[in-house]
């Protein structure tokens, strides 16, 4: 979008295009500042469109060099052209060929949309509307064409890649060379890609289930190919998994992944040619953490799975974005669950959902999983579309059962392959496969806001019954004051006083499957043959994306922590108790009292450390992490004082750390990994627990913890242990911290991805000096605002992950981030806009900080020029 004030685009205004483009033949003559693109389009009137309409092609920042129709130059009065539009006034009402030549400057392309250069590599990014920055086109997802791309380049750009299969390559008379790529699968422009560069690769051959050979390769900067091995392995495991679990085979002769260092997002699923932020490809034990490995595995899988959910079946329009994204996130979550621990993966995913999506859903940026209107589509690649979108697939699967779900997926692939589909069409497949009416379920896609479910239970000893009443309410969100009830599957169990699971029987004695579907404002269910007063375990496995309000005592919850058969609810119960305790501590601090760490949690954790922690270390690490500051802030919801939350959490953790010191110290020793480094779930879990133990120990005794952290920092043989030690040292501050930071920077001076971690750690230090430190780091020779990873590491971490310093009481944190957004916006509006979302919870702050946040937002809103991206985000936040 290049218009100053983008207008509102509405779902209800959708209509098909007046023309279709069956084939696209592109020729790129790559040049750093003057790349020429010749595009031959075979166009025909769309029977579903309006006869005789002008042909209106999208452009963005384009220069038209020449235009002809059926190979004859087009008369000047037959068309109008601007950088953002090409209109053929009266095109033939029969098939015709339109040939366009455009000129673009990849080096000057700082938006990283369209064709750009990243560290000397030519690459493209076309989702959502970047193809129109390459050539004039019907740049929308429901225009599907078969593409051929001829790429010509000088000898210094030996590698030329495109979508589909390589059909021809050779030398040119001028000393350069060319390659022709053909993709037989019709696709929208947003899935188009080319790459030109001089890169190293790792490669292998993957044999599909039906015996076809696929050459798979990962391309990275010269000298870094060993660090691409894990990504290549993750790709092949993803390919096998999609065959095994969803019956989906790969369909081309090659599958290429290219890693680039400048990228606005995580990665992109271009057909047969995925382009990745190198952060999600490159890994070695010396440079990547266990978390990095897990992210690489997940994102490689995600992009690969798009081949079926996104590419073979794409979206009719951008309102349907969750059709590919929510579904594909669900698929990558399932893949990781199968590759690692399902329970731990679920806990991690729910943590992400609550940290990223719940605040969005509760604030000014709330929108339905399928939005009804947008100004700037790039602002809708949100946690709601992705993460809540994935939860809705999970809800659907729970409602209809695994078998019907798989049948519905098969039907969807069968019926919609090669088309651009809608959410309605998707849901219809599951209604058909399950025989269920899913009309009420569809409301999840229409209604924003997180439903709040309240549960109240009564035990009747005389009748041996337990009666549970569930109610639901969804709060108003922008543009949606009144909400209807949602269809909420509540997975549940009853835990007896002896800790044992009680068999569920309905009132008439029949077995109950443990899923109560709450689809009205209120629902009551009675279980019979309950011999003693039970503790309900509700929303097991987090069976729906809701906020649960349950009137259990701390003791009840700690019983679930000890005995629940559902690991998710074990974790959740400890989490809920800890949240309550920290909230009380916040009240204490704001009232001038000193908070105490209560014995009940100490005892429960002591028992846990003694008896269970080492049985599933990854799970135990999640338990010991306790709720974060933003989790507490979200629970409090209004009039938030981030400093009080910080002190409260620190005080409670210090109390736990002191009370459990001996056990923690013993565990820290016992958990040391002696085997050679492997990034697998088992070893990663052991490291995660040991590092969580170190963190808690340090909270209780900073001197002792600091010494352990220093020793760990000095002796670590992998990045996970090294970076945790460094982070721990930044919590205890002082000279040791500064020395360790300097040593780390020296060691990794030429590794940008590791330096990002160094920038990020410093930006997250919760002390008032941090703002000055971050400002000084802007002048560090390795810092650059034009590299998105670097900007996210320094400024993003400060704004998104340092709640006390971003929301400094004097407003200087907000002002600083506002300045950066204003500076960044002209060069890279998408990055600036994403950074601005750090303000999305500003209305929940106490009045003083809120006023500072508002002033900062007003200042951004008044900046000129302001991109449609930032203008839209800031406008909605101020509304």
Residues identified as active-site: 303
DSSP secondary structure string, 611-631? HTTTTSHHHHHHHHH---HHH
* 125 binds, options Zn ion, ligand PHE, none, Cβ within 5 to 8 A by partner type: ligand PHE
Site for ligand PHE in 119-158 (CB under 6 A): 125, 127-128
Cβ-based nearer residue to ligand PHE, 325 or 641: 325
Q: Which of 69, 109, 116 is nearest to 88 (CA)?
A: 69
**C-alpha–C-alpha distance, residues 879 and 874, integer Å:** 9
Nearest-approach distance from CB 492 to Zn ion, in angstroms = 32
Containing 823, the helix (H) or strand (E) segment is helix 812-824
Least distance (Å) from ligand PHE to the CB of residue 480?
26
* The pair of three-digit structure tokens given for residue 565, joined into one six-digit string: 């058969």
Shortest separation between residue 274's beta carbon and ligand PHE, angstroms: 9
Q: Are 221 and 278 in contact (CB under 8 A)?
A: yes
Pairing mode, if any, of strands 452-460 and 488-495? unpaired
Residue closer to ligand PHE by CB (options 377, 801) is: 377
Q: Measured from the CB of residue 69, what is the shortest distance to ligand PHE in angstroms? A: 33
Nearest residue to ligand PHE, by Cβ distance, number only: 265
Site membership for ligand PHE, residue 302 (CB under 6 A): yes
Instruction: Give the footprint of ligand PHE on residues 319-338 (CB under 6 A).
Output: 325
C-alpha distance from residue 186 to each of 164, 312, 318 (Å): 11, 8, 18
Strands 35-45 and 55-58: unpaired
The entry of ligand PHE, Zn ion, none that residue 349 binds, CB within 5 to 8 Å by partner kind: none
- How far is 381 from 358, CA to CA, in rounded Å? 15
Please identify, using beta-carbon distances, which residue of 394 and 687 lies nearer to ligand PHE.
Answer: 394
Sole binder of ligand PHE in the list 381, 668, 713, 758 (CB under 6 A) = 381
Q: Quick one: what does residue 764 bind among Zn ion, ligand PHE, none, with the CB cut-off 5 to 8 Å set by partner type?
A: none
Residues within window 75-104 making contact with ligand PHE, judged by CB under 6 A: none
CB of 257 to Zn ion, least distance (A): 14
CB of 830 to ligand PHE, least distance (A): 8
Phi, psi of 436 (to 5 degrees): -100, 150
- 248, 289 in Cβ contact below 8 A? no
Q: Any contact of residue 265 with ligand PHE (CB under 6 A)?
A: yes
Could you say which residues in the range 311-330 bind Zn ion, by CB under 5 A?
325, 328
> Per-residue contact track with ligand PHE, 749 to 768, x per CB under 6 A?
--------------------
Count of alpha carbons within 13 Å of 498, Cβ hemisphere only?
A: 6
**Short-list 267, 301, 61, CA closest to 867:** 61
Contacts of 34 (CB under 8 A, 6+ apart): 103, 105
Residue count, binding to ligand PHE (CB under 6 A) = 12
CB of 788 to Zn ion, least distance (A): 17
Check binding of 376 to ligand PHE (CB under 6 A): no
* Percent of residues in the chain assigned helix, strand, coil, to nearest 5: 45, 20, 35
Cα dist. 722→115, 301, 633, 657, 712 in Å? 38, 27, 30, 22, 7
360 binds, among ligand PHE, Zn ion, none (CB under 5 to 8 A by kind): none
**C-alpha span between 804 and 642 (Å, rounded):** 5
First to last CA, the chain: 22
- SS3 of residue 17 by DSSP: coil
Q: Which is nearer to ligand PHE, 297 or 303 (CB)?
A: 303
| From the list ligand PHE, Zn ion, none, partner contacted by residue 857 (C-beta under 5 to 8 A by kind) | none
Residue 381, binding choice from Zn ion, ligand PHE, none, Cβ under 5 to 8 Å by partner class: ligand PHE
* Residue range at the interface with ligand PHE (CB under 6 A); choices 80-88, 289-297, 301-309, 866-874: 301-309
On whether the CB atoms of residues 163 and 300 are closer than 8 A, the answer is no
- Closer CB to ligand PHE, residue 124 or residue 686? 124
Which of 268, 282, 557, 636 forms a contact with ligand PHE (CB under 6 A)? 268
Q: How far is the CB of 128 from ligand PHE (least distance, A)?
A: 6
Per-residue interface string for the shown chain with ligand PHE, residues 220-259, x marking contact by CB under 6 A = ----------------------------------------
For ligand PHE, the closer CB: 374 or 608: 374
Residue given tokens 């002008």 in the structure block: 54
Q: Could you tell me if 111 and 829 are in contact, meaning their C-beta atoms sit under 8 angstroms apart? A: yes
Which residue, among 262, 135, 119, has the nearest Cα to 199 in the 3D structure? 119
Contacts of 589 (CB under 8 A, 6+ apart): 595, 644, 647, 648, 651
Q: Which residues are near Zn ion by CB under 5 A?
A: 325, 328
Give the binding site for ligand PHE (CB under 6 A): 125, 127-128, 265, 267-269, 302-303, 306, 325, 381
């Amino acid at each position: 979008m290049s218009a100053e004030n983008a207008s509102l685009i509405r779902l209800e205004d959708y209509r098909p295009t007046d023309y279709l483009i069956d084939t696209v033949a592109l020729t790129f003559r790559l040049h750093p500042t003057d790349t020429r693109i010749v595009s031959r389009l075979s166009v025909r009137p769309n029977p579903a469109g309006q006869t005789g309409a002008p042909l209106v092609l999208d452009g963005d920042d384009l220069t038209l060099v020449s235009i002809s129709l059926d190979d004859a130059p087009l008369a000047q009065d037959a068309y109008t052209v601007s950088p953002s539009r090409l209109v053929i006034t009266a095109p033939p009402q029969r098939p015709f060929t339109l040939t366009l030549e455009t000129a673009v400057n990849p080096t000057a392309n700082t938006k990283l949309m369209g064709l750009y250069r990243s560290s000397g590599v030519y690459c493209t990014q076309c989702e959502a509307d970047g193809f129109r920055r390459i050539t004039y086109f019907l740049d929308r997802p429901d225009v599907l064409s078969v593409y051929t791309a001829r790429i010509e380049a000088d000898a210094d750009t030996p590698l030329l890649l495109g979508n589909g299969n390589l059909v021809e390559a050779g030398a040119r008379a001028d000393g350069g060379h060319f390659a022709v790529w053909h993709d037989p699968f019709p696709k929208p422009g947003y899935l188009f890609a080319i790459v030109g560069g001089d890169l190293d690769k790792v490669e292998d051959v993957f044999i599909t289930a039906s015996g076809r050979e696929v050459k798979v390769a990962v391309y990275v900067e010269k000298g870094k190919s060993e660090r691409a091995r894990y990504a290549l392995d993750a790709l092949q495991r993803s390919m096998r998994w999609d065959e095994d679990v969803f019956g989906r085979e790969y369909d081309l002769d090659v599958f290429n992944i290219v890693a680039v260092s400048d990228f606005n997002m995580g990665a992109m699923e271009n057909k047969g040619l995925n382009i990745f932020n190198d952060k999600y490809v490159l890994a070695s034990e010396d440079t990547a953490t266990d978390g990095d490995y897990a992210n690489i595995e997940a994102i490689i899988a995600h992009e690969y799975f798009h081949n079926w959910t996104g590419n073979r079946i794409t979206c009719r329009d951008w309102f349907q974005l969750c059709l590919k994204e929510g579904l594909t996130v669900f698929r990558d979550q399932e893949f990781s669950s199968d590759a690692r621990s399902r329970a731990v993966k679920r806990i991690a995913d729910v943590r992400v959902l609550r940290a990223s999506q719940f605040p969005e859903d509760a604030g000014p940026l709330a929108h339905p999983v399928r939005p009804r209107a947008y100004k700037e589509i790039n602002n809708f690649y949100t946690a709601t579309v992705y993460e809540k979108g994935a939860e809705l697939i999970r809800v659907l699967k729970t409602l209809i059962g695994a078998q019907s779900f798989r049948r519905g997926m098969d039907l969807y692939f069968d019926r919609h392959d090669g088309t651009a589909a809608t959410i309605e069409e998707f849901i219809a497949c599951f209604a058909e496969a399950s025989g269920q009416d899913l009309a009420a379920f569809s409301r999840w896609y229409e209604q924003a806001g997180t439903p709040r479910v309240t549960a109240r239970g009564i035990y009747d000893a005389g009748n041996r019954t337990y009666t549970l009443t569930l109610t639901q309410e969804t709060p108003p969100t922008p543009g949606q004051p009144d909400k209807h009830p949602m269809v909420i599957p509540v997975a549940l169990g009853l835990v007896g006083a002896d800790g044992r699971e009680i068999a569920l029987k309905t009132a008439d004695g029949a077995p109950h499957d443990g899923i109560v579907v709450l689809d009205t404002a209120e629902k009551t269910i009675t279980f019979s043959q309950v011999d003693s007063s039970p503790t309900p375990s509700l929303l097991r496995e987090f069976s729906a994306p809701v906020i649960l309000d349950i009137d259990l005592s701390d003791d009840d919850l700690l019983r679930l922590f000890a005995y629940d058969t559902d690991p998710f609810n074990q974790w959740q119960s400890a989490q809920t108790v800890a949240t309550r305790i920290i909230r009380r501590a916040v009240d204490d601090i704001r009232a001038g009292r000193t908070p105490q760490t209560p014995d009940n949690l100490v005892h429960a954790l002591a028992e846990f450390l003694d008896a269970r922690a080492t049985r599933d270390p990854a799970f135990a690490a999640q338990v010991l992490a306790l709720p974060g500051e933003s989790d507490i802030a979200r629970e409090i919801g209004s009039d938030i004082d981030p400093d009080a939350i910080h002190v409260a959490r620190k005080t409670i953790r210090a109390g736990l750390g002191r009370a459990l010191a001996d056990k923690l110290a013993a565990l820290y020793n016992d958990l040391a990994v002696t085997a050679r480094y492997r990034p697998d779930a088992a070893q990663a879990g052991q490291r995660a627990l040991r590092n969580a133990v170190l963190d808690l120990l340090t909270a209780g005794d900073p001197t002792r913890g600091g010494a352990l952290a220093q020793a760990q920092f000095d002796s670590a043989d992998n990045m996970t242990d090294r970076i945790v030690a460094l982070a721990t040292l930044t919590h205890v501050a002082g000279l040791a911290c500064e020395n360790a930071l300097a040593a780390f920077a020296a060691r990794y001076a030429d590794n940008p991805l590791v330096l990002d971690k160094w920038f990020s750690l410093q930006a997250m230090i919760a002390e008032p000096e941090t703002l000055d430190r971050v400002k000084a780091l802007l002048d560090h020779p390795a810092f650059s605002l034009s590299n998105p990873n670097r900007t996210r590491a320094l400024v993003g971490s400060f704004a998104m992950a340092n709640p006390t310093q971003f929301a400094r009481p004097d407003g200087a944190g907000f002002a600083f981030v506002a300045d950066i957004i204003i500076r960044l916006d002209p060069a890279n509006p998408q990055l600036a806009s994403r950074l601005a979302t750090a303000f999305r919870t500003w209305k929940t702050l106490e009045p003083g900080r809120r006023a500072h946040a508002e002033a900062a937002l007003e200042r951004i809103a008044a900046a000129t020029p302001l991109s449609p991206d930032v203008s839209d985000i800031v406008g909605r936040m101020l509304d």
